[in-house]
């Protein structure tokens, strides 16, 4: 199916920026009669496959929703298990990411994490900062409303300091104040687990994204499912508020 994707890619394929909400680890664990922590652990394998596939087909930025700001409300034991698993996977995978030329970045309220995890994140970012094959962005302790609120606060501080005229604030300035400022907006969002909502993820950056909702629980997510999402993306005309005729004239 990869050949088909390349043949039909046009101007918008593969997407420059793919984002994924990896949902369903807990339900997958329940279905298999194992602990939720084991379910989260099973979700690491499809991440590794996804990263390699995206890098291979030329996606520039892959963003994964690993832990939301709302996830802190989960049972303490599960949160601690998630953080431990996250640290373990990070330390194990960063060497492979470096070897494959993939840059690793993190967005979210990093200060809310443990000192050990913060140190590991900083080390991973520094170790891979020169890689250019693809950028893997991991959203941890992240929420779209947190992101926009933080950005608004940064702009307000500049206004109070006399460094910014309120009249000069436009979409570009707002975008520049957000966590994903250096990356292009998301072209395609994939969410697994059968739910059809954004769950407070990249609210600003998803404004014109194409959406693909998969019934598969995350540990069952496969490359063939990714290819189906990319095929669907290839079939869509992205108009950004224009008419089909206008877009057709531009592409000619």
DSSP string, 156-189: HHHHHTTS--GGG--HHHHHHTSTTTTSPPPSEE
CA nearest to 234, candidates 2, 5, 1, 3: 5
Residue 243 has which token pair?
């008419």
**pLDDT-based confidence at residue 81 (cuts at 50, 70, 90):** confident
Classify residue 175 by burial, with Cβ atoms within 10 Å: 0-12, 13-18, 19+.
middle
- Dist CA 104 CA 187 (whole Å): 19
- Kindly report, residue by residue over 84-105, the tens digit of the pLDDT: 888 999 999 999 999 999 999 9
- Number of folded domains in the chain? 1
Residue 176 falls inside a structural domain: no
Nearest to 135 by CA among 61, 52, 66, 55: 61
162 lies in some domain = no
pLDDT at 124: 96
Of 31, 71, 165, 187, which one is the catalytic site residue? 71
- Of 10-14, 80-84, 91-95, 239-243, the range with the highest mean pLDDT is 91-95
Residue 120: inside a domain: yes
Q: Kindly state whether residue 178 falls inside one of the protein's structural domains.
A: no
Predicted confidence (pLDDT) per residue in 143-172, tens digit: 999 999 999 999 999 999 999 999 999 999
Query: Do the domain assignments include residue 95?
Result: yes
Has 23 been annotated as catalytic?
A: yes
Question: Which pLDDT score, from 0 to 100, does residue 245 have?
Answer: 55
% the chain with pLDDT above 90: 79
Cβ-proximal residues to 84 (8 Å cutoff; 6+ apart), any chain: none
**Quick one: DSSP state of residue 11?**
G
Residue 72's pLDDT band (cuts 50, 70, 90): confident
Q: What is the pTM of this model?
A: 0.88
Assess whether 165 carries a catalytic annotation: no
In a domain, 250, yes or no: no
Q: Is the pLDDT of residue 33 over 70?
A: yes
Catalytic pick among 8, 23, 31, 220: 23
**pLDDT higher at 77 or 152:** 152
Q: Where residue 73 sits, what CATH number does that domain have? A: 3.40.1180.10
Higher pLDDT, residue 11 or 153: 153
Q: Say if 231 falls within a structural domain.
A: yes
- Asked if the structure places residue 112 within a domain, the reply is yes
- Confidence at 56, pLDDT banded by 50, 70, 90: very high
Domain that holds residue 84: 17-143+186-236
In contact, 177 and 204? CB cutoff 8 Å: no
């Amino acid at each position: 199916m990869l050949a088909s994707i390349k043949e039909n890619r046009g101007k918008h394929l593969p997407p420059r920026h793919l984002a994924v909400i990896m949902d369903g680890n807990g339900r997958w664990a329940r279905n298999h009669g194992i602990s939720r922590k084991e379910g989260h652990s099973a979700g690491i394998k499809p991440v590794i496959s996804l990263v390699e596939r995206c890098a291979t087909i030329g996606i520039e930025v892959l963003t994964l929703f690993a832990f939301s700001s709302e996830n802190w409300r989960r049972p303490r034991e599960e949160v601690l298990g998630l953080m431990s698993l996250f640290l373990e996977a990070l330390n194990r995978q960063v060497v492979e990411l470096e070897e494959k030329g993939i840059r690793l970045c993190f967005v979210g309220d990093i200060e809310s994490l443990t000192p050990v995890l913060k140190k590991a994140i900083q080390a991973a970012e520094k170790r891979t900062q020169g890689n250019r094959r693809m950028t893997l962005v991991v959203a941890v302790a992240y929420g779209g409303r947190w992101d926009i609120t933080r950005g608004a606060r940064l702009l307000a501080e500049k206004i109070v300091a006399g460094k910014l005229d309120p009249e000069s604030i436009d979409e570009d300035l707002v975008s520049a104040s957000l966590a994903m400022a250096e990356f292009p907006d998301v072209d395609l969002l994939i969410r697994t687990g059968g739910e059809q909502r954004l769950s407070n993820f990249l609210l600003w950056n998803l404004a014109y994204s194409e959406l693909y909702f998969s019934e598969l629980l995350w540990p069952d997510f496969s490359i063939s499912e990714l290819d189906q999402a990319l095929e669907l993306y290839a079939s869509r005309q992205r108009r950004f508020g224009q008419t089909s005729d206008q877009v057709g004239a531009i592409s000619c």
